[in-house]
Structures are given as structure tokens and as C-alpha cells.
Chains A and B, each alone.
Chain A
Amino acid sequence: QTVVTQEPSLTVSPGGTVTLTCASSTGAVTSGYYPHWFQQKPGQAPNSLIYSTTNKHSWTPARFSGSLLGGKAALTLSGVLPEDEADYYCLLYYGGAQVFGTGTRVTVL
């Protein structure tokens, strides 16, 4: 069974930078896994931020960016705002199926 692992929790100061990662149990994550990133706040549906590794939607704030880092997919938040406090999930494509990551809770403190 494929497992996609994220940091359980991260804390960042307002105005700071934090990087979330997304690792696959099958090996290095490449662009062929078409990584997605989603933000979810309590009581809300997920909000799509990034698709196909680096691509942003029209509504994605510029402070969010996606990349590949050390064999993992990564989401970097720069100039963090209090409203960025949320759960973040990655999603990887495995040729006919997709698997969500375990999720990272980001606290802005």
C-alpha cells in the first residue's frame, strides 16, 4: 500500500517562511507524480492551491509556491499571514490512482 507522508505539524512566525514536504513510500517524487497542494481550514472544504508541481490557480496568493526538493514535493509559504493557519494536504498521481498525503497542520504563532 502506497503511503504519502507529510510533516504532522509545523509552526511559523507571522512574516516568516515555512516549507512543507510530501514524500512517497515508492521513492523519489518527480514531476510525473503531478503533485497537488490543498489548504483546508476548520469546517471548510479544501481549497486548491497548486497543481502539477508548480502551477498556481488564479486565486492562489503569490506567497505560495510549489517545487521539488530533495526527492519530495514541496510547498513554500513566504511572508506568512495569520490566515495561512490551516491544514495542508498534498496529492500524488500513481498512474491510475491518486493518494493524499497525511497532512500538515501549520500554526502561525
Chain B
Amino acid sequence: KAGVTQTPRYLIKTRGQQVTLSCSPISGHRSVSWYQQTPGQGLQFLFEYFSETQRNKGNFPGRFSGRQFSNSRSEMNVSTLELGDSALYLCASSPGGSGGANEQFFGPGTRLTVL
């Protein structure tokens, strides 16, 4: 089974631009979550999508948004980029059943650098 894939792997943008990151979950997984990883703040939850609906949301500004398609692939978008948005963005997928003990399978991440 193919793992979680994320594209692109590396991205360089300038302040004020917007960016879209893509995540393809493991086949059959219906839940996709996004995390931001920075040296200062560590790993922080952005949002989770299940069956095309946002099921959970973290404490990020509205510039961060996401969506999920009917094939479970997900995109996240960051508008009006700021220097502080430079980070590794990780996507994780799981089967998505209820209970909270679902194993999250992580992709390799997209390294975003904002100049």
C-alpha cells in the first residue's frame, strides 16, 4: 500500500503570496489532518477533514484553510503569507473511525520557506 504523499516537497514563496499544498492519503483512509511543525512552536494541529467535512479545527488564523475532495485527497491553502508561516507542513491520514485511537500515518511533509 502506498503511503501518504505530499506535494510539493519544498516551496519558496514571498510575503503576501498565497500557497496551496496537497496531500494524498493512504487508499481507503477517509480522514486527513494537517499539522504545522516549527522549531519554536513544535507540532501544532491545523485541521482535520473527514468525508469532505471539516471535523476539527486548531487555533490558527483564517488565512489557513483547507478542503477535502470526494477521493479523500486534501489541500490546504495559506493566503497572505507571513515570514512566520515558514514551517514543515505535515499531513496525516487515518481510517477515520470514531474512538480517537486511530493510528495517524504521516507524510514526509512540505517544507515552506517564506522570504
A and B interact: no
State the A residues within 8 Å of B (CB): none
State the B residues within 8 Å of A (CB): none
